[in-house]
Amino acid sequence: MDRHNVVEILPERVGNVSSTSYPRHHPGVSGAWDYDEFKQHLRVDVTRWTTELCEFDLVGVDASIANSIRRVLIAEVPTVAIEHVYIWNNTSIIQDEVLSHRLGLIPLAIDPRKLSFKMDDEANDQNTVVFNLKAECKKRGASKDAGIEGRYVYSSQLEWDPKGDQAETMADCPPRPVHSDIVIAKMALGQSMEMELHCEKGIGKDHAKFSPVATATYRLLPLIEILKPIPEPLIPKFISCFPEGVMEQGGENGVRVVDTRKDTVSREVLRHPEFEGFRGVYGYI
């Protein structure tokens, strides 16, 4: 591995942290950007993929590129969110503007590719998705001991109202809240609300409610090197200096690296003088 691309974790400092855009910055290394070389070394390995989380390794690029992708995910990937709330009735304790704000932050499962940006156009089936919300807190029956229903208003009570040909174009994935158990409001007996919600396409740069990610982060993948064999009496202590699952006993050096992804680069092993010269830790992309 090219040491010029490795960030060194040392006992009292972090070394080689700066990157450069200038060729010949390091002796004997060209450093000039070349598309074919960049393409050859670039690799994306998806390590986890669920409906809630995507984790991948981006190999062969500078940290600035990883940060650019992070910022694009937060601010420039379009999604659909509630933009306008038309309240016909609201007798709950929550003020109209607070209720509208809460509704706007509900994540929606709507494919943004099936809508266009509204801009200054009138709302239509090409740029707007409509939901209706009608809720009432009342007794379950006429008897004195009858229980109360409708005390909580949940996101599952949002009813999609298809316009134009939306019932056909969105039939494969009908618009709905991502989570059905989000509490919108709590009402007392006799209170009710009725409103119409208009959803539009937007990006996180305009408003945080359009951001498709709760958090988007990156970190350098640790590189752990065992420089020479660990004395057998010190092996248990050496392994305990790392988070569980990073090291195990075995191999030609007495210990072997199992999973560097679990390492937090705490430098704990560098605190012990008996391990001086045994271990080097580096972070790299």
Tokens describing residue 270: 């560098």
Q: Is there a common fold for 3-74+216-284 and 79-210?
A: no
Tokens describing residue 272: 């012990």
pLDDT in tens, 60-105: 888 888 899 999 999 999 999 999 999 999 999 999 999 999 999 9
Answer yes or no: are the C-beta atoms of 81 and 199 closer than 8 Å.
Answer: yes
pLDDT in tens, 232-261: 899 999 999 899 999 999 888 888 889 988
- Euclidean distance between CA atoms 285 and 41, whole angstroms: 11
Task: Tell me which fold the domain 3-74+216-284 belongs to.
Answer: Gyrase A; domain 2 (3.30.1360)
Q: Are strands 43-49 and 148-149 parallel, antiparallel or unpaired?
A: unpaired
Residue 28 neighbours by CB distance under 10 Å: 6
pLDDT in tens, 136-191: 999 887 766 668 899 999 999 999 999 999 999 999 999 999 999 999 999 999 99
Q: What's the pLDDT at 155?
A: 96
Residue 148 neighbours by CB distance under 10 Å: 13
Residue labelled with tokens 């940060």: 67
Task: Tell me which fold the domain 79-210 belongs to.
Answer: RNA Polymerase Alpha Subunit; Chain A, domain 2 (2.170.120)
Helix, strand, or coil (residue 29):
coil
Tokens describing residue 189: 């007996």
| Closest C-alpha to 170, from 122, 115, 133 | 115
* Mean pLDDT across 18-46: 78
| Closest C-alpha to 277, from 234, 240, 243 | 234
| Closest C-alpha to 280, from 262, 252, 260 | 260
- Euclidean distance between CA atoms 245 and 243, whole angstroms: 6
- Euclidean distance between CA atoms 131 and 85, whole angstroms: 10
- Name the CA radius of gyration of the chain, rounded: 28
Q: Give domain limits for the chain.
A: 3-74+216-284, 79-210
